[in-house]
Amino acid sequence: MEFQNSYLNLGKNFYQQILPTPVENPQLLLWNQQLAKTLQLSGALNDDHDRAQILSGNRIHDSSTPIALAYSGHQFGHFNPQLGDGRAHLLGELFDLNKRRFDIQLKGSGATRFSRQGDGRCALKPALRELIMSEALHALNIPSSRCLAVVSTGETVYRDLPQPGAIVTRVAQSHLRVGTFQHFGSRGDTESLKKLLDYAINRHYPEIDVNADEAQKALEFLSAVSNRQITLVCHWLRVGFIHGVMNTDNTTISGETIDYGPCAMMGDYHPGTVFSSIDAQGRYAYGNQINIAIWNMARLAESLLPLLAPEQDAAISKAETVIKQLVTDFTKAYRVMLANKLGFAYSDESDWHLIETFLGLMQSNELDYTQTFLALTQMLNGNRLTEETATILKSWLPDWLQRLGISGSVDEITTKAENHQQSATSIPHEKTDNVTDAITRMQHANPAVIPRNHHVEDILERYQQALLSGKGKQQAQTQLEQFLSVLRTPYCETELTAQFQDAAKDKDKGYRTFCGT
């Protein structure tokens, strides 16, 4: 294991060089073996003791120079010029098997000059939540940071109630944020902005010529980052993920999901779904996430204005062109995503009425988002819809089937498939290939299981209680590992999947998530 430290070359105004604060009794709780293998760490950290010492910050590897990164950010629409890593230390960067560079960061590793009177620590539950949710999103084919390990500290963290402390090791393509560019843009530090732009291009966008004209590469960079936001947020919407705190300091330049504090999953479909306890106005509700992503890209554009053109009006005009195109492209991508969930190869204006009608039926009848799309997928495989779902969708289903090129009534199609007792490709109708293609698209777009909020909370509570009491630790560990094994294969059903597919009995009424700080 040999850390690289490329951030150090940016200059001291980009970070604070500071060691993690040692903890009392670090113990390795969870180790992501698959990720460790990808990062070529299998033989580098020899045992659980070594892993706990290094990944708690108690021991610093010879090649590591820990730093806390500086950045600013808009938090719920209000600009804060001085944020930064208040409870995180970047140990350095490692290369994976494919020669890709990744940051290795400790979260909950102690205070820095960016802590703003915080204790710099992380409680156990938020650390475990980050591991569960990031692994789930990664398996759902959504760009995300990941967790290499969770280490308990043997210390108590004080929030509303005393809680056991933990440190999570986060792995990301980088920790550059929109807020990083805002940090220097808001200060009028054009030289640092140029340096940051070149670093970000070299690290994430090699297709952009870093030696090109400053204005040209800044414009291409803004467009490229915006495109990654389209991909990311449409994936969130595809599976019902609600980030909960889409501040600009949580918006990565790489297009990865980062910061899993108040995140949650939508059960019943409703665009206004929000669970974050700190989002009283619903700014970051499920259905607002596209608009917020566009807003965040406009803030990135503002930071880049000094590089886009010497004259502000010309720079604004260039930025507005990119943002207007982003709005158009986001709308198109969102519609294509929903079309794929319904099995369509493409989406045109005539499809949108069909899609909107379906979403309206789900919303007005409080249908579960994941279960309903999965039921339609399985219906094409010969399974019958539940009586309730079939009744609600009765007037819509014939139009959907016709759009897929499938003839016959719903009952006829499912009955024929059941009688044949064969796969979806054997449903007898005139255009079999249409069904085969539709099922393939739907199976890729619609997971069989998601990290349901009530299951996540149950796992977290059981694990914490076992750790505190010293009783049932092995059982809690097994339950967590079983949950993770199911979440890591979300598009196929295993013998354990059914244990975690059910929606919450109370439909998540009153459910709230917290940021963990």
pLDDT of residue 417: 53
- CA dist list (Å): 221 to 111, 199, 206: 33, 11, 10
Measured torsion, CA atoms of residues 489, 493, 496, 499, in degrees rounded to the nearest 10: 110
Digit-coded pLDDT (tens) for 160-205:
889 999 999 999 999 999 999 999 999 999 999 999 999 999 999 9
Say if residue 57 is in the same domain as residue 147.
yes
Residue 432 has pLDDT above 70, yes or no: no
Total domains present in the chain? 4
Q: What value does the mean pLDDT take over residues 416-433?
A: 47
Say if residue 288 is in the same domain as residue 383.
no
pLDDT of residue 414: 58
Cβ contacts of 208 within 8 Å, gap of 6 or more: 201, 217, 220, 221, 224
Q: Is 508 annotated as a binding residue?
A: no
Residue 134 has pLDDT above 70, yes or no: yes
Say if residue 251 is in the same domain as residue 328.
yes
CA dihedral over 121, 125, 126, 131, signed as positive or negative: positive
pLDDT of residue 434: 77
Measured torsion, CA atoms of residues 37, 125, 445, 502, in degrees rounded to the nearest 10: 130
Residue 429 has pLDDT above 60, yes or no: no
Task: Decide: helix, strand or coil at residue 345.
Answer: coil
**445, 466, 486: which is the final residue of a domain?**
445
pLDDT class for 435, splitting at 50, 70, 90?
confident
Cβ contacts of 114 within 8 Å, gap of 6 or more: 16, 68, 70, 82, 83, 84, 85, 86
Digit-coded pLDDT (tens) for 371-391:
999 999 999 988 999 999 999
pLDDT class for 416, splitting at 50, 70, 90?
low
Say if residue 272 is in the same domain as residue 141.
no
pLDDT of residue 341: 98
Residue 421 has pLDDT above 60, yes or no: no
> Domain span at residue 40?
6-175
Q: What value does the mean pLDDT take over residues 397-419?
A: 75
Q: Is 228 annotated as a binding residue?
A: no
Say if residue 157 is in the same domain as residue 49.
yes
Say if residue 120 is in the same domain as residue 170.
yes
CA dihedral over 458, 460, 461, 464, signed as positive or negative: positive
Q: Does residue 36 fall inside a structural domain?
A: yes
Residue 123 has pLDDT above 90, yes or no: yes
Say if residue 188 is in the same domain as residue 329.
yes
**401, 419, 445: which is the final residue of a domain?**
445
Cβ contacts of 146 within 8 Å, gap of 6 or more: 32, 35, 134, 135, 138, 170, 171, 172
Residue 515 has pLDDT above 90, yes or no: no
pLDDT of residue 517: 55
Q: Is 87 annotated as a binding residue?
A: yes
Nearest C-alpha neighbor of 262 from the set 273, 275, 280:
275
Q: Percent of the chain scored above 70 by pLDDT?
A: 95
Residue 431 has pLDDT above 50, yes or no: no
**Cβ proximity of 25 and 153 under 8 Å:** yes
Q: Does residue 40 fall inside a structural domain?
A: yes
pLDDT of residue 426: 37
Q: Is 259 annotated as a binding residue?
A: yes
**Tokens coding 119:** 């204790």
Q: Does residue 515 fall inside a structural domain?
A: no
Average pLDDT in the chain: 93
Say if residue 243 is in the same domain as residue 332.
yes
pLDDT of residue 409: 66
**Cβ proximity of 237 and 254 under 8 Å:** no
pLDDT of residue 509: 93
Say if residue 138 is in the same domain as residue 205.
no
Q: Would you mind telling me the total number of residues written for the chain in this entry? A: 517
- CA 423 – CA 447 distance, rounded (Å): 19
Q: Is 335 annotated as a binding residue?
A: no
Digit-coded pLDDT (tens) for 255-311:
999 999 999 999 999 999 999 999 989 999 999 999 999 999 999 999 999 999 999
Q: Does residue 505 fall inside a structural domain?
A: no
CA dihedral over 343, 348, 351, 356, signed as positive or negative: positive
Q: Does residue 506 fall inside a structural domain?
A: no
Digit-coded pLDDT (tens) for 89-104:
999 999 999 999 999 9
Digit-coded pLDDT (tens) for 321-350:
999 999 999 999 999 999 999 999 888 888
- CA dist list (Å): 57 to 49, 103, 175, 312, 385: 12, 15, 19, 45, 53
Phi and psi at 220, nearest 5°, equal: -65, -35
**Active site residue ranges:** 249
Q: Is 107 annotated as a binding residue?
A: yes
**Residue scoring higher pLDDT (186 or 428):** 186
pLDDT of residue 418: 55
pLDDT of residue 210: 96
**423, 445, 467: which is the final residue of a domain?**
445
- CA dist list (Å): 93 to 165, 170, 234, 322: 25, 11, 29, 32
Q: Does residue 510 fall inside a structural domain?
A: no
Q: Does residue 508 fall inside a structural domain?
A: no
**Cβ proximity of 233 and 285 under 8 Å:** no
pLDDT of residue 109: 97
Q: Is 170 annotated as a binding residue?
A: yes
Say if residue 118 is in the same domain as residue 218.
no
Say if residue 316 is in the same domain as residue 359.
no
Q: Is 382 annotated as a binding residue?
A: no
Q: Does residue 512 fall inside a structural domain?
A: no
Say if residue 434 is in the same domain as residue 459.
no
